[in-house]
A and B are shown apart, each in its own frame.
Chain A
Amino acid sequence: MLAKRIIPCLDIKNGRVVKGTNFINLKDAGDPISLARHYAEIGADELVFLDITATLEKRKTLVALVEEIGKVIDIPFTVGGGISDIDLVDELLQNGADKVAINSAAIRNPDLINEVSGKYGAQCVVAAIDAKSIDDSWLVFSKGGTHNTGLDLFLWAKELVDRGAGEILFTSMNADGTKQGFEIDALKKLTEYVNVPVIASGGAGSINDFVTLFSETRATGGLAASIFHFGDVAIPELKQELYKNGISIRI
């Protein structure tokens, strides 16, 4: 049976791992290569690297980092963060990334999704969406959560899938950093709305949050950063608990 996926996310800036709370207050949580190796060894199912570096050197350092990760890591990994052109996608995939996550660039230029999917297949295109619940709607934000696009989360997700995204990575900006649990209602709706794998991100604070995620929604992956980096939740224990709760998980 297909297992649910536990996915640590490594936010990278200038080659180091950082994680903010509600996208502010960046803290250094280690060297990406040793952290990645550690996660692969203790049973992470996949890894996501999001590069938030905003300098001109970004491109070169990110490609070099991806090449190093690929040498060491024998589980799949996704790379994202400011990917806005097919040339960078080419470089990342050729250097060992399995998938690329595209966020703001898809809002500016939705054809990029078609282009990457057409060239490499839907399986390597992760459409990342940051969204915030405002009044009764879920609105998509771009540029690291600073710009309200006015797009509806569900309609936008559907469009991205129609354009060739093979997976959706949905981050709830309301829940991110709160450790109060995943955004269950929105995830229920989203995972019924699109028929590709959905990774839930934002809000994980405890083992129980993952049990709820996989029991109550069709999400196929749960992503978190600081709770893994700082040891609040240990992946082997998390997987044991999921297994005990009857959730299909790789142990």
Chain B
Amino acid sequence: MDVVFNQLFAGLSMASILLIIALGLAIIYGTMGVINLAHGEFVMLGAYATWALQSFAGLGVLAALPLVFAAVAAVGWVIEKLMVQRLYHRPLDTILATWGIGIILQQAVRLSVGAESRFVKGPELLSGNTEIGALVMSNYRLFVIAFSIFVLVGSWMLMTRTEFGTKLRAVIQNRGISECYGIESKRIYSITFAYGAGLAGIAGALITPLFSTIPTMGTGLVVDAFLVVIVGGLGSLIGAASASVLIGEATALLSAVMNDTLGRIAVLAGIIILIRFRPRGLFPSDTRN
């Protein structure tokens, strides 16, 4: 029984990271229909930025978070301006283009920082464990779970409670008429892309104490994040949240029952069956046409 609870907690911890990554993907896709294959590399950039800030400036993970968000958002903003913005009329080409950008970013880091793994210390403040009976929960993982909920609520507020969010939702539903009412859709797209990239950066920063930081670390994570977006329903925040918990927990529990490889296969098989019966995901959004 203890094993089950501990695995449930591990699954929740994984789910919280997946959620932050998938939110960025979902917001970018939902807004501009761009499937951003460079998203995993944004996560990787966030991790390396955290490592650099800790190694060279002595900043801890928590202090680095806002800086990493801003830095990776800036990278996303530049990439959107230089490349993605020119391809809005050719959505299929954006897949190829962002994939290329991902490869370039990965190689750039490998050439400049090196291919060996880097390690980042977790914050002292959150170093211990919280124990309830036999359930042992690391404080840092608890923090990550809380932070992901904060990011989810923050994104939801941004979309529904701010003028930027209203403009964003107007552009999603009818770009032409939005422009006829003074909304600069290109600017909205740039900011949205930058925001999604910044979220990926934050996810990268948060996992540095849990995973080793290597140039290819984003690839595996982004595959899971795509699964979350597909299962949750494209462009749905609630869908992304519930699907990340579902996939995180399923992976953790099935891995414990069988082993990592078989657990993974079982999760993928489950998703294929789910998509067969709900091709648009658990919470399909009807906003984009």
* Chain B binds chain A: no
